[in-house]
Amino acid sequence: MRVFKFGGASIKDAEGIKNVYDVLQKVGYDDVLLVVSAMGKTTNALETVIKDYFEKSSALKASVQEVKKYHNQILLDLFDSECPAVFEDVNKKFLELDYFLEHNKSTNYNFVYDQVVSYGELISTTILAHFMNYKNIPTTWVDVRNLIKTNTNYRDAEVDWALTQENISKNIQRNQLNITQGFLGSDPNNFTTTLGREGSDYTAAIFAYCLNAQSVTIWKDVPGVMNADPRYFENAQLLNQISYREAIELAFYGATVIHPKTLQPLQKKEIPLYVKSFINPLLKGTSVSKGNTLEPYLPCYIVKRDQLLISLSSIDFSFIMEEHISEIFSLFHQFKLKVNLIQNSAISFSVCVEDKFDNFKEVNAILSKKFKVDYTEKVTLYTIRHFNDTAAQMVEEGKKVLLKQLSKETMQIIISEN
């Protein structure tokens, strides 16, 4: 079996849905599992719904209606009156969402988040499965929440691999086209969980591992994995071949083409990963597989914006020792601050973090009791794998460098954007 993942950009409108059909016609769809994200910017739109819900905003009804209107237009562009079932099935999903928003009693933001945003994937896959059947490709719609089981760590759930393996092995039918949702799972009480933002790639890897798949292909709007993000760097070049190890390094430092958790399960069973273009599906794209190769061998640039640079120093000029660092990291873990760079001296400790849950204010209040805390918001972290002097100069030129760190293969530079 082959596992294909299609992200939101590939199915953002009716033409995108039709293009998925065209891709499958060209590359084949027998014994294929499609893992599919929410359409376009639906997740962002549903995050607005959640915001309005918690703020008890009068805009809640309108924000829900925007999501409905967007999907209904796609339905009208794809189907005629001879296919009423798809309209009924999508409407059922929206009725479920309305019911949750009206009757939910939980005040846990992360729990509510997972229950609401999940409808993006549930609706997109419903539409895509109906369209494939409409175009005479027999397709089975699979609710991933019945298969991928997790703990209750909402918004960043951990997979119960043993139970997930059993469920997938029993319930995925071979020699046909299956369509399921990326990003989602369910906890022991069958409430919806999510695997972290951009977790659809990880979902594809989970299925590939449990099915001993032939390969995983991530279909993107780029030719494959580039050595830099074309939005920030001119003349970005395609990497034809990357080893698992190198891809994991790139993902660790924040390369957005491949989700950080995607590669480990694939590496364990040596399942190759392809990153290919849904615009030109017959191009080779990038292959990620066993070996020590990076072809061509180039500096690789990774950019992480909206970072927070924190500098801690001891109030009494004593050394910052292991027990202090352990306490600091325990606090970061508790408040879900993701650490991307560390640098320390005898009496100071600097760390670049990502505060996606907006918890730094609480962390700062606790740290300030024991340390002098200085911080700079909205800095940019550049990471250069396989750096050289030319690469470093290109990143630093004309910018205010706040911190620089070098290892044998990697250079990291923090730049002030103010």
The arithmetic mean of pLDDT across residues 347-360, rounded, is 93
Dihedral sign for Cα atoms in the order 48, 52, 57, 59: positive
Structure tokens at 409: 């293969």
DSSP 120-169: HHHHHHHHHHHHHHHTT--EEE--GGGT-BB-S-TTSPPB-HHHHHHHHH
Main-chain dihedrals φ then ψ at residue 364, nearest 5 degrees: -60, -40
Give tens-digit pLDDT for 96-154: 999 999 999 999 999 999 999 999 999 999 999 999 999 999 999 999 999 999 999 99
pLDDT tens, position by position, 321-351: 888 899 999 999 999 999 999 998 877 899 9
DSSP character string of 62-98: HHHHHHHHHHHHHHHHH--TT-HHHHHHHHHHHHHHH
Q: pLDDT value at position 190?
A: 98
φ and ψ at residue 146, rounded to 5 degrees: -80, -10
For 41-60, letters b (16+ CB in 10 Å) and e give ebbebbbbbbebbeeeeeeb
pLDDT digits (tens, 9 = 90+) for 42-56: 999 999 999 999 999
Q: Are 274 and 285 in contact (CB under 8 A)?
A: yes
Q: 21 — phi, psi (to 5°)?
A: -60, -45
User: How far is it, in rounded angstroms, from Cα 73 to Cα 51?
Assistant: 24
Write the CATH number of the domain with boundaries 2-213: 3.40.1160.10
Distance between first and last Cα of the chain = 50
Predicted confidence band of residue 197 (pLDDT cuts 50, 70, 90): low
**390: Cβ contacts below 8 Å, ≥ 6 apart:** none
Query: Is the confidence at residue 171, as pLDDT, over 70?
Result: yes
φ and ψ at residue 417, rounded to 5 degrees? -100, 5
Residues of each annotated binding site for ATP: 231
Given a cut of 90, whether residue 417 has pLDDT beyond it is: no
Q: Minimal CA–CA distance to 24: which of 109, 103, 139?
A: 139
Q: Report pLDDT digits (tens) over 63-99.
A: 999 999 999 999 999 998 778 999 999 999 999 999 9
Task: Give the residue-averaged pLDDT of 276-284.
Answer: 97
CA 379 to chain centre: 22
Instruction: Return the pLDDT at 86.
Output: 96
If you count DSSP H runs as helices and E runs as strands, how many of each does the chain have, helices first? 12, 17
Strands 348-354 vs 184-186: parallel, antiparallel or unpaired: unpaired
Report pTM. Answer: 0.86
Where are the domain boundaries for CATH 3.30.2130.10 in the chain?
300-416
Q: What confidence score (pLDDT) does residue 162 get?
A: 98
Q: Which helix (H) or strand (E) element contains residue 348?
A: strand 348-354
Share of the chain above pLDDT 90, in %: 87
**CATH 3.40.1160.10 boundaries in the chain:** 2-213
Give CA–CA dist 3/235, Å, rounded: 31
Most confident of 249-263, 306-320, 364-378: 364-378
- Say how far apart CA 255 and CA 261 lie, in whole Å: 12
What are the structure tokens assigned to 91, written together?
Answer: 């409407």
List residues forming the annotated binding site: 231
The mean predicted confidence, pLDDT, of the chain is 95
Q: Among the CATH numbers 3.30.43.10, 3.40.50.12780, 3.30.2130.10, 1.10.287.70, which is that of 300-416?
A: 3.30.2130.10
Q: Rounded to a whole number, what is the largest CA-CA distance in the chain?
A: 77
- What's residue 389's pLDDT? 95
DSSP-derived secondary structure letter, 317:
S
